[in-house]
Amino acid sequence: MEFDQLIIGLAGVIATASPIVFAVLGETLTERAGVINLSVNGMILLTAMSGFAVAATTGSVLLGFAAGMLIGALVGAVVAFTSITLRQSQVAIGFVLALMTRDLAYYLGSPFTGQNGPRVPPAPIPLLSDIPVVGPLFFDHDLVVYLSFILIAVTYLWLFRTAPGLVLQGVGERPASAYVRGVDVNRQRYFYTILGGALVGLAGPAYSLSIKAGWQGTISGLDGIGWIALAITIFGGWNPLRAATGAYFFALLQWLSLVLQPVLTGIPSQVLQVAPFPLMILTLLLVNFGSTEWVRRRLSALPEDQRRAVNALIRRLNVSPPSALGTNFRKQ
């Protein structure tokens, strides 16, 4: 393969990963607050459709993105209300919404199927895009891709470098400790479930107005991406940087499976495409291994200092989920 082609391919990988980046960042924030929003798959479809529909109707790409974020936030609000205020199972509500919003997207989107609509124009950054290799890789995209870069940094800094980010970490880890420090745990959870929903809501328009412009109904090829985003959130260990890396890794595998198909006839392309999933399970296995009953029993036989060393090692892996994920918080 020519070097230029490789660069073009990799630039494509970076671009196609951007909607997944939005989704995993949003889900990471939500789960960091202790809420699991399982409806990402349907949300991406619904916001892709509505983003496209609004943009096609109004001619404004910006309004399309706004619509996507609004609807994402709305779905997040439903998850928050039902799980936090009504204390229903987060899994149940998220799962139902995942299916319902998908079908809602197909139903409401049917008049727009195959229509022409606006799309985000390419916007190479002057000067920077002329730098060899780096330029075409990072600075010859559209605003959507640049926004994904910015949001990775912002989310990371917010979570690990700001006071509200510290509070967010605390809420997901130990709500009771956050509560005695004067944090309104449930309000935090509402906020991040809605904010996370809005970020996931960017993913849909990012597809329908940029990466895979247009709305093709059931053959849009977007069904399943949300489940992948959920997997990548775990793979990323609830860390925005690692989650984004996971998204790029996934896009890379998909690209490789296409490119390498003629080269590696022995290895079926599906093996590469599906690789993130066994990897995710393996990651979870590694992470949770230390907390299973039988491992803990073995561990408890160790002397105190060794035990703490092992615990610290597990910490360093830094992929354990927020301890309070999926639970309800009540004062007391």
Tokens of 263: 């080269």
88 is an interface residue for another protein by CB under 8 A: yes
Under 8 Å between Cβ of 209 and 61: yes
CA-to-CA distance for 210 and 39, rounded, in angstroms? 23
Enumerate residues 41-70 that contact another protein by CB under 8 A. none
142: three-class secondary structure by DSSP: strand
Least separation in angstroms between CB 266 and another protein? 10
Backbone φ, ψ for residue 115 (5° rounding):
-75, 160
Work out which of 58, 103, 130, 258 binds another protein, going by CB under 8 A.
103
Rounded Cα distance, 63 and 40, in Å: 21
- If binding means CB under 8 A, how many residues of this protein chain bind another protein? 76
Query: Residue 258, interface with another protein (CB under 8 A)?
Result: no
Per-residue binder mask for another protein (CB under 8 A), 271-310, x = binder: x-xx--xx-xx--xx--xx-xx-x--x---x------x--
Residue 153 binds another protein (CB under 8 A): no
How far is residue 24's CA from residue 250's CA, in Å, rounded to a whole number?
12
Choosing from 3, 114, 161, 262, the residue that interacts with another protein (CB under 8 A) is 161
87 binds another protein (CB under 8 A): yes
- Coil/strand/helix, residue 238: coil
Query: Can residue 205 be called a binding residue for another protein (CB under 8 A)?
Result: no
The residue written with tokens 């703490």 in the block is: 308
Task: Find the binder of another protein among 100, 137, 213, 299 (CB under 8 A).
Answer: 100
Whether 32 and 210 have beta carbons less than 8 Å apart is answered as no
Q: Which of 59, 122, 221, 224 binds another protein (CB under 8 A)?
A: 224
Does residue number 174 form part of the binding site for another protein (CB under 8 A)?
A: yes
